[in-house]
Chains A and B, each alone.
Chain A
Amino acid sequence: MGLRGLFLGRAAAITAAALCLAAAEPADSPVNVPEPPGLYTGPQRGYTPPTLKGAHVVDGAAVAEMIAGPDKPVLIDVAPRERKPANFPEGRLWLPVHPSIPGAVWLPNAGAAPLPPEREVLFFNRVEQLTGGDKGKPIVVFCHVECWGSWNAGKRLVDKGYTAVNWFPLGVEGWQDFHETRNLTEDPEWKQAGGP
């Protein structure tokens, strides 16, 4: 990068470095994380961009308002399941719990990228069912704070032509401070299909 900087000039070099970061590894600062051109394929945990083109970015209060309103949004939680350690002792209590926004549908890890093709098809099918085939139906996608999964899920829906996609980047952490949570179980169809 140093050599290239010599030729490109300072500003261009910084932009190049920033783009390079977004594509390859997590950003090291929460400020001005750029939107990747497509789905983000880096680790899901990390600073996310402040925007998602084609979607609204919402906070917990806005989500609560939508839920209380006449056109209730479809709430889609894509947080991964808790992973049971492979070498966790037999017989020791393992009882993962997934608190979330009441009424949400939990499609664990649906924001992974890449997603196996049949998984991606199932994701779109489930959203189509949940929205009743209405591409203008309000949808809220979320997972945890600083989690790329919900950004990717939102991106997938925007690209698929959904016009009322709301991305709630603070996720469960941004919700639970001020609102009730409910423990969710995984969407049965999603679970039946198996996968990571």
Chain B
Amino acid sequence: MNTLCESADVIRTENLDVGYDCKAVIRNVNIEALRGQTICLIGPNGAGKTTILRTLAGSLAPVGGSVYISRANIKNIKPSEQAKYMAIVLTEKLHMDLTSVYEVVSMGRVPFTNFFGRLSSDDHRIVAESMQAVGAAGLSERQFNSLSDGERQKVMIARALAQEPKLIILDEPTNHLDIRHKIEVIRILNRLSAERQMTVILALHDVDIAVRSCQNVLMVKNGQIVAQGRPEDIVQTETIGNLYEIDGASYDSVLGSFELCYQNQPEVFIAAGAGSGVPFFRSLSRLGCGIATGILHQNDVDYNIASAMKLTVVSERSFQPITVEKVAAAKAAIAKTRFAVDSGFPVGDYNRVNIEVLRGYASSGGRVYSMRSKDEIARLYPDVAVATISSISDLHALLPEAQADARGRGR
């Protein structure tokens, strides 16, 4: 009898404690996933993500509480039944000598084939469809051991699909993959949950991918679920920093990405806006050059990045005209630097004052480099000397000279 009915309630845990040898590693895991939902476990290495996944997959008995698969307690489900409902993709690298991709994928039919494991025409069709679903149809006759890491992972997902599961559990499926394959794997999983209404539970290292692709995120740290819910609700700049105990980088929850932090004394002032400053922030910071920037509106992407990088930022509230105080602050900041850069930001009514700040600096003897065309410079800076640069490399070429010059002046 099929104990696993077509319930929308795919997997649920009740006060689940997971661990080894009756010792709980993580207590009180309560998760619930309906058909077509994705749950993503994030957290530092060794936090116990794999332990949770193994317990959900039934290969590790719960230390306390219960796991329900389609409303049935997992300990009452026959392994042969479970195999038709749930498939897994593990993180360890498989070594399969003299075995073709097709043979590996058709292993997924093991729960369905007869005693001798002979594949029926239906089985062959499902194997072919599974390979198509992950875009691995062309790999069919290749030797499994000759595949790249990315191809391998797709094949392992195809093998899991051949089990025609309602639930698929993956441990670090993007591990060791290059960025193209990372994205490919995630898109495959998203498509499976959307089109096939498959429930996906996975552990991920990459927070940026997790928050973009999963409806539910579970943060695991130090034997605890520290937060759980929609990524938009729980993933904030500080939560991620705390979760991974990151030093030297910070997470921007709006952009969903990390920036390395630099806290050098500002040597260069970058007048920026609308993203024009980001390449300067990053490239100069890499050289160890301290940066001050301004005046940025707080709804400007340059502001997000500059704050995440912990640069010195003079900012104004979103959509507000820049106040006199901020202009004074910017003038104070630029005065302390060796030279200034005009990133070529779009100039409009609300930020024209930045040009004034640069002009003031130039007219008092400061060096200004601008990314603008000669015509534009003539128009914006009619009365002061401003040098042109056409790329970041130009600025880099200038830097030793500029820095040496600046240092000379400093002494």
| A and B associate | no
**A residues engaging B (CB < 8 A)?**
none
| Residues of B participating in the A interface, judged by any CB pair closer than 8 Å | none
